[in-house]
């Protein structure tokens, strides 16, 4: 059975992840429904984007979060965490993005097609 057939893993981000588990530059690999999602913090903002690079499906949870971007560990493609847009080759396709919100000391993600942004409270 492949990883995709096994289904997404990690915490259900619709149920929230404690913000204390997400330091600046930190990442949490989770899921929203049947989709694998990367929750990442850059400064005072928290974002949610697709968990795999659009180039060769590299694991973005193993990449770097730098200045509002996430960089793929395999071939160094770079994506804007705010929009999911591919900023640097070899990836040209964007990542899906999720909306985020904060309540009760947790960050939540939900799919709605809008940029995924959470300003710290």
- Residue 63 belongs to domain spanning: 3-104
Instruction: Record the tokens describing residue 27, joined without a space.
Output: 């990442």
3-state secondary structure at position 110: strand
Question: Strand 69-71 relative to strand 64-66: parallel, antiparallel, unpaired?
Answer: antiparallel
Q: Which residue has the tokens 């990449």?
A: 63
Q: How many domains does the chain have?
A: 1
Residue 113, in any domain of the structure: no
Averaged over 97-113, what is the pLDDT?
87
Band of pLDDT at residue 100, cut at 50, 70 and 90 = very high
Question: Is the pLDDT at 48 greater than 50, yes or no?
Answer: yes
Residue 118, in any domain of the structure: no
Q: What is the pLDDT of residue 115?
A: 40
Averaged over 60-89, what is the pLDDT?
95
3-state secondary structure at position 3: helix
Q: What is the spatial distance between Cα 59 and Cα 102, in angstroms, rounded to a whole number? A: 25
Residue 69, in any domain of the structure: yes
Question: Is the pLDDT at 83 greater than 50, yes or no?
Answer: yes
Residue 41, in any domain of the structure: yes
């Amino acid at each position: 059975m492949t990883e995709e057939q096994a289904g997404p893993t990690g915490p259900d981000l619709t149920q929230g992840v404690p913000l204390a588990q997400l330091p600046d530059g930190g990442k949490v690999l989770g899921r929203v429904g049947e989709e694998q999602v990367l929750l990442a913090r850059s400064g005072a903002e928290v974002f949610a984007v697709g968990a795999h690079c659009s180039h060769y499906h590299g694991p973005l949870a193993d990449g770097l979060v730098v200045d509002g971007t996430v960089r793929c560990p395999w071939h160094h493609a770079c994506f804007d965490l705010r929009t999911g847009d591919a900023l640097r080759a070899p990836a040209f396709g964007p990542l899906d993005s999720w909306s985020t919100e904060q309540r009760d000391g947790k960050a939540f993600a939900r799919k709605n097609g809008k940029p995924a942004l959470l300003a710290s409270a």
